[in-house]
Amino acid sequence: MEYRTLSAAEKEDIRARILYEDNHLLVVNKKVGEIVQADKTGDECLAELLKAYIAARDAKQGKVFMGVPHRLDRPVSGVCIFAKTSKALERLCAMLRDGKIHKTYIALCCGAPPRESGSLSDYLVRNEKMNKSFIAKSASTSGAKLARLNYRYLGHTDRYHLMEVELLTGRHHQIRCQLSAMGCPIKGDLKYGAPRSNPDAGICLHAREINFTHPVRGTLVHLTAPVPSSWKGVSALVSSTPDNTLPESVHTQA
């Protein structure tokens, strides 16, 4: 099966964004604006881009497998896992369902939280036509699903407030909806109450860290994605050096 020919610049961009790779997994730092999996827009998705990269780099004949166990919204950046084997995909999906993959985000918000740290527990309802989630009036509301997260205030820039979010459930637009309802809409997120958009049309929500046990090898994997360069004044508020705990060296193929 043939894939699109990538330019040298595209290949280098992908190579530089790989956080971890082995025979079973490929973990990359997703950029704002990329879609993880093909959708109705018809735009090229990250999964297909990675297939083309692997096919060219490894001179691979035939079809490249690139499973998608989870997705990040188009305007969101950060750690994104792909499965290079069906065994890894099946096990990663089960781990996600069982809450065995731990994800931490950072969000640059337009308001400060009421407390330095806390937990949010709400029932969310998704409006498919609007592609938006809302806080339900009660747990008995039709379609309502429990959404839980923990947050911690990290500091502020001249105009915005940085928060760390530990995601405990994976509901549609959960972080965006719950932070907005708390009075902390994410910078650039017009859909959930931000006053203005970002120049790149993204929002300041970044999947910063992910922790899980390797689905095949059983070893600990802890990966950190660098803070986007467009987040002015934020790097001083978070660790600038990724603390990546890997089962073996990054980019190995063993």
Question: What pLDDT, on a 0 to 100 scale, did the predictor assign at position 208?
Answer: 96
**Nearest-angstrom CA–CA distance, 233 and 63:** 43
pTM score, whole prediction: 0.90
pLDDT surpassing 80 at residue 18: yes
- Count CA atoms closer than 13 A to 103's CA, side-chain side: 22
Do 79 and 225 meet the contact criterion of CB atoms below 8 Å apart?
yes
Which string of DSSP letters, residue by residue, matches 166-207? EESS--TTHHHHHHHHTT-PBTT-GGGT-SS--TTS--SEEE
Give, in words, the CATH class of 8-231. alpha beta
Percent residues over pLDDT 70 in the chain: 93
248 versus 22: the higher-pLDDT residue is 22
Mean pLDDT of all residues in 48-67: 95
Residue the block writes with tokens 């965006």: 176
Q: Which of 192, 173, 170 is nearest to 183 (CA)?
A: 192
Task: Give the pLDDT score at 236.
Answer: 80
What pLDDT is attached to residue 239? Answer: 59
What are the sequence ranges of the domains in the chain?
8-231
pLDDT digits (tens, 9 = 90+) for 66-101: 999 999 999 999 999 999 999 999 999 999 999 999
pLDDT at 232: 82
Task: Report the percent of the chain where pLDDT is more than 90.
Answer: 83
Confidence band of 252 (pLDDT split at 50, 70, 90): very low
Q: What is the pLDDT of residues 190-227, one digit of tens each?
A: 999 999 999 999 999 999 999 999 999 999 999 999 99
Band (pLDDT 50/70/90 cuts) for residue 248 is: very low
pLDDT band at 234 (very low <50, low <70, confident <90, very high): confident
